[in-house]
Structure 1
Amino acid sequence: MTDVVPPPPWRPSRRQLGIGLAAVATLAVLASPLVVWWVGYRATLAVVAFAGVPDCRGTEPAAVDDAFGSAAADGGFRRTAITMRPGSACTLSVKVVNESGHDIEVGGSRIDGFGGGTGAAVTDSSFGEARTLAPGQEMVLWIRVEYRDPRCDGGGQVGLGLEPTVRLRDTIATHELVVAGLPLIRASCAG
């Protein structure tokens, strides 16, 4: 009977080892920016922003049924509204909290509004100032809204909906966070 001798174990040649190591190194170099971006992007997702209680002079915030007709009595949603009157002004605050483990740059933020011809105007804000927010830190941004004579097309109410956006940046990742919960700003039109 003949003994079967197993073949020697496969061993890569030096050339094959070099090609394999070059492929792994190339993959690591190409993946590094993606990993850095992903870590930064995830850090920006751990930042929260929420509206505070409005500080008003000459008017008071009130709860109203939402603009889409679902009354609170029917289980609908209610939101805060501020009716602007001559001489009235409000400061709206937004708290930004960095719950990530990285420094986050907060800046380049903007305030978008809808509802032209309203009875209010944004007269000042701290949204344009760029600042660094360390892990666990918080900051308060503010928006100043003052009464202005509304342009009306036949009476009723006009409103200003504010949608401020906070721009967040970490390393190479950028994320825009829309602040929800600010009150609807409205004014009565004189027929």
Structure 2
Amino acid sequence: MNSFFTAVDKLRPFYDAAYKVTLFVCKLMLVADILITSLSVLGRYIPFIPDPAWSEEVVLTLMAYMAVLSAALAIRRGAHIRMTAFDVYLPKKVINILDLLADAFVLVLAFVMLTVGWKYAVAIGSKGTYVSIPGFSRFWMYFPIPVAGFAMIIFELEAIYNHIKELCAVEEGAQDAPVENKYSA
């Protein structure tokens, strides 16, 4: 079993890279949001600066991408809201099983977001355009959901693997260094 974990642990750089790329994309979108919003506000009060009509819709679209991608990033860090009041009273193995179950449900949600979100983006999104940018398809307004579903799948697979690895270490009574609990302070 240890050889399996050793082989899968070699994928960690992939997960690290996916996290860094997603975080970088979120940072770029935040900078774009700030710049576009600043331009829009300045354009309302300073006569020689143009106030682009498209700014509100673009800012809202970028915010949608940032919100769902940030939620996917929180999966990897274990930063989502969760009930921990009873964790001190439950055995570690029970907590790991409950965490595994919760992550399995989130993985199902991620697949739903990917498949249904893609269908909506293609079906509904492609039928309209932005009001202020007539040549720009509304597909981009619906596209954050399947993108987030894909990112969530990547990070949930890692979280589920970590739970299984921790459970196997507990069951085998391995004296190796314990798997870090991503929920501890």
TM-score (norm 1): 0.26
* Greater strand share, structure number: 1
The alignment's TM-score, normalised by the length of structure 2, stands at 0.27
Larger helix proportion of the pair: 2
